[in-house]
Structure 1
Amino acid sequence: MRTNTTRATGPAAHPASRSARFVIALCWVAVLLDGFDLVVLGTVNPALLDYAAWNVDAGSLTVISTAGLVGMTLGALAIGSLTDVLGRRRTLIFSVTAFSVLTLACAFATSPEMLGVLRFLAGLGLGGALPTALAIVAEFAPAKKGSASTTVMTGYHVGAVATALLALMLLESVGWRWMFVAGTLPAFVLVPLMVRYLPESPAYLAVRGRHDEAERIAAAYGLPPVTASSPQSEARAADTETTRSPASPVRVLFSPQLVRTSVSIWVTSFMGLLLVYGLNTWLPTIMREAGYDLGASLSLLLVLNAGAVVGLLVAGRVADRVGARTAGLVWFTLAALFLATLSIRLPYGVYVLVFLAGCFVFSSQVLVYAFTSAVYPHEARATALGWSAGVGRVGAICGPILGGALLQAGIAYPWGFYAFAAVGVLGALALAASRPVR
């Protein structure tokens, strides 16, 4: 049934021609805020260990980190799935608003327990923001899903780099609480811009039967016409009859032709996010165990995420040429190699090794998202991304736990890097078990 309603479609109902690049830019900033959250605990953990008023240890910080990641897991699974039902625009605005307000509240935590609760609640919004933003990007840049996904994910690591820089400027001068204040300031600009300028996805509108709006938005943003389902072009390996129904997108993930790939993606995402969160949470502390001072440890965190930005830009172009699955296999393998080399104690060469590890570790996980965007039809894409991110967040929980356990055992250096390298190998093997997109 067609309808001419313009409710909840945002600015794209206007007839003026618009650029999809601005939509991607809004998603990029949303992902940047997620990137802040990625490393903020890693930067403040050394300061919290020295914060006499709370008297916390590595075990307490692991619990706080885990609380936020549990929230992200639940948010990714629940909100990611609801995105295919409620719409991309509404879900992203809600998610960004929720996690920004709750992250700001972390600055006023009066105890470690309160900080853990706030991190859990903020995690619910954070978990839904990333898969929703990636779904929007894939649908507003349909011809280059690989490079579009990796480009928008540079925001993740630009946010991480900015957080490391903020830590160098703020931690010793004004204290850890101001890290949470500074990190949420961009949201006060982003949310009003999204309310005013972020359109609804034409793919989502077409699936929900709102064809007139879908056609109008697609024309305004220079996108090809969108049909309610195109399994041959969007998911050549998918079962046609199963993927035609927009009523239960979760069923698409378990269809006979996709279930093997779904499980492969979940295992790979688990390994990828274990690496991402394990390294960003504990790298500064592990490097202090290796004999580096706090300033050098924070600088290495900055270098790690600077390498991630470069790696993402390269990985996207490679994925557009050879496919996200093939690129991901190469990237996970090289990530394992360079993580193992970090066990070598070098006075200056360590910066080069950390940079190279960052190039491959973080873009490996983003290539999993790019592969997910390519293999599932648009009526289940956000759900697939949400499940990939949600199951991956379980790995994100295990990453800080693994690093914390190794630290408490006194063997984080060098055995932490050997353990992370093994995780990279397992990620490559899991991705190899998936079915390639034909």
Structure 2
Amino acid sequence: MSPTSPQSISPRTVALLCWIAVVLDGFDLVVLGALIPTLTGGDTPWMTPAEATFVSTISLVGMTLGALSIGIATDWLGRRKAMVWAVFAFSALTLACAFATNYIQLGLFRFLAGFGLGGCLPTAIAMVTEFSRGKAGKASTSVMTGYHVGAVATALLGLVLLPWLGWRAMFLAGAIPGFVLAPLMLKYLPESPSFLLAKGRKAEAEAIAAQYGLTLTAPAAAEHTSISALFRHPFLRNSLAIWVTSFMGLLLVYALNTWLPKLMVAAGYGLTGGLWLLLLLNAGAICGLLVAGRVGDRIGLKPAALLWFLCGAVLLAALSVRMPAPLLYPMVFLTGCFVFSAQVLVYAFTAANHPPGIRATALGMSAGVGRLGAITGPLLGGTLVSMGIGHPWGFYVFAVVGLLGAVALATTRVFHQGA
């Protein structure tokens, strides 16, 4: 059977395969954070906090480079091949982490795993967008719920595995499912018809489109198949605006996930309250993702993303005010709904607003530049906390970041209907 025409399945199964890949991606992205207390604690810690900071930072650097490079490779090699290799790569290197003997080895394996982790998300979004039958917003945000499911799975597995089998078992648990998923994707995941059409492989594209009930459109910019297209008219303005917005969006996601408990402790809510608020924030994220895509498909992805960033900014500013628990809990839940799904709407807008020839490249660049925000966010939050102004000024700063994301996105142009 042709590698571009695997056994015919429904577009929903394509989305499911990509969703599972994002679940594994989410697990591997947060597993190190879940293990740091164990690795740095006890009478004889496996590594120091400074060494843990090095490992976590180098992991994000690898993810940044992975998002930039694999997104480009995807538009040249194909969505299917890039997706399978991304899953296999981060699974193999996560397995290697289980056998690391020192923090340098662990940092090296996490850095290399980052190439697969960083490339998985933009490739998955590109795939589900093209098999979504015109529902790009719903498809993109639905597949991103996998990230938060993976994060929850990490916490649950940590409760079960760490006391009995130790920290190495966590890396094994994150790696093994990928070795099952990669062959399934190789068998069942089709190549993108839009990619094939952009490459001039019209017969293959038409065959797959017919199998999956898709409507093919002629590539309007087939000649733009390199990263340089993003730096030229008509995409340059959008590229810059999307990169700024992604930087701001991921800065907020990573800063809040890292520092929200500490900020809430500083506000007098207590450590237990801070942890519950972190849980509520991520629960809100899942609900927000399910709603955001549907709103985006109804009113347009750009207006929806603008609304989400603006609402997120208002809610972040409101959290600077100390309030009773019955009001605080729903406020934090709503903050997660808007802040954590705003960036996913940017990905959906990026996917829907670029032609197939550079779609994954545009997504990869958006995710890659956004990873710089992911590195900046925890550093910014830590600086504010160390200065003793995390609360309330931290929330004011984060509100301004959300507002800047909205302003940048407002300067983009819409090239395709629905975006």
Q: What TM-score, normalized to structure 1?
A: 0.87
Shift in Å, 1:203: 0.9
Residue among 319, 334, 341 paired with 1:342 = 319
Q: CA separation in 2, counterparts of 1:419 and 1:313?
A: 27
Matched, 1:11 2:6: yes
After TM superposition, the structure 1 = structure 2 runs for residues 117-196 of structure 1, keeping only pairs within 5 Å, are: 117-171=108-162, 175-196=166-187
Q: CA RMSD in A?
A: 2.5
Q: CA separation in 1, counterparts of 2:202 and 2:222?
A: 16
Aligned partners of 2:194 and 2:216 also within 8 Å: no
Question: Which 10-residue stretch deviates more, 129-138 or 106-115?
Answer: 106-115
Shift in Å, 1:178: 3.5
Structure 2, unpaired ranges of 5+: none
1:12-38 Cα distance to aligned partner (Å, 9 max, x none): 5xxx5x311100110011111222234
Query: Which secondary structure does the structure 2 equivalent of 1:143 belong to?
Result: coil
The answer for the alignment partner of 1:321 in structure 2 is: 298
Residue among 292, 306, 310 paired with 2:283 = 306
Aligned partners of 1:69 and 1:397 also within 8 Å: yes
Distance of aligned partners of 1:429 and 1:347 in 2 relative to their CA distance in 1, 3 Å threshold: same
The answer for the alignment partner of 1:237 in structure 2 is: none
1:139-191 Cα distance to aligned partner (Å, 9 max, x none): 11141111111111111222122223334444566554433333334323311
Q: CA separation in 1, counterparts of 2:234 and 2:114?
A: 33
Q: CA separation in 2, counterparts of 1:63 and 1:411?
A: 25
Matched, 1:250 2:233: no
The answer for the alignment partner of 2:67 in structure 1 is: 76
The answer for the alignment partner of 1:53 in structure 2 is: 45
After TM superposition, the structure 1 = structure 2 runs for residues 5-404 of structure 1, keeping only pairs within 5 Å, are: 7-12=2-7, 18-51=9-42, 52-54=44-46, 56-57=48-49, 59-171=50-162, 175-227=166-218, 229=219, 231=220, 243-246=221-224, 248-284=225-261, 286-287=263-264, 297-345=274-322, 348-349=325-326, 350-404=328-382
Aligned partners of 1:62 and 1:400 also within 8 Å: no
Aligned partners of 1:154 and 1:309 also within 8 Å: yes
Aligned partners of 1:214 and 1:226 also within 8 Å: no
Question: Which 10-residue stretch deviates more, 157-166 or 93-102?
Answer: 157-166
Q: CA separation in 1, counterparts of 2:397 and 2:165?
A: 36
Aligned partners of 1:42 and 1:283 also within 8 Å: no
Shift in Å, 1:383: 0.7
Which residue type is aligned with residue 339 of structure 2? V
Query: Which secondary structure does the structure 1 equivalent of 2:6 belong to?
Result: helix
Question: Which 10-residue stretch deviates more, 292-301 or 314-323?
Answer: 292-301
1:273-304 Cα distance to aligned partner (Å, 9 max, x none): 11122222344555566667766555443322
Which residue type is aligned with residue 319 of structure 1? G
Shift in Å, 1:387: 0.8
The answer for the alignment partner of 1:423 in structure 2 is: 401
Shift in Å, 1:71: 0.6
Question: Which 10-residue stretch deviates more, 258-267 or 277-286?
Answer: 277-286
Distance of aligned partners of 1:392 and 1:423 in 2 relative to their CA distance in 1, 3 Å threshold: same
Q: CA separation in 2, counterparts of 1:283 and 1:42?
A: 14
Q: CA separation in 2, counterparts of 1:73 and 1:199?
A: 27
The answer for the alignment partner of 1:432 in structure 2 is: 410
1:207-249 Cα distance to aligned partner (Å, 9 max, x none): 222222111111111111343x1x3xxxxxxxxxxx2305x33
Aligned partners of 1:138 and 1:148 also within 8 Å: yes
Q: CA separation in 2, counterparts of 1:366 and 1:337?
A: 19
Question: Which 10-residue stretch deviates more, 29-38 or 279-288?
Answer: 279-288
Distance of aligned partners of 1:263 and 1:312 in 2 relative to their CA distance in 1, 3 Å threshold: same
Identical aligned pairs, as a percentage?
A: 60
Aligned partners of 1:215 and 1:226 also within 8 Å: no
Shift in Å, 1:434: 1.3
Distance of aligned partners of 1:160 and 1:346 in 2 relative to their CA distance in 1, 3 Å threshold: farther
Shift in Å, 1:409: 4.1
Which residue type is aligned with residue 4 of structure 2? T
Query: Which secondary structure does the structure 1 equivalent of 2:357 belong to?
Result: coil
Aligned residues, how many? 414
Aligned partners of 1:165 and 1:302 also within 8 Å: no
Shift in Å, 1:61: 3.5
Question: Which 10-residue stretch deviates more, 162-171 or 386-395?
Answer: 162-171
Structure 1, unpaired ranges of 5+: 1-5, 232-242
Aligned partners of 1:43 and 1:298 also within 8 Å: no
Query: Which secondary structure does the structure 1 equivalent of 2:200 belong to?
Result: coil
Q: CA separation in 1, counterparts of 2:267 and 2:37?
A: 14
Aligned partners of 1:79 and 1:128 also within 8 Å: yes
1:306-328 Cα distance to aligned partner (Å, 9 max, x none): 21110011111110111111111
Q: CA separation in 2, counterparts of 1:166 and 1:334?
A: 34
Shift in Å, 1:347: 6.8
Q: What TM-score, normalized to structure 2?
A: 0.90
Q: CA separation in 2, counterparts of 1:289 and 1:171?
A: 30
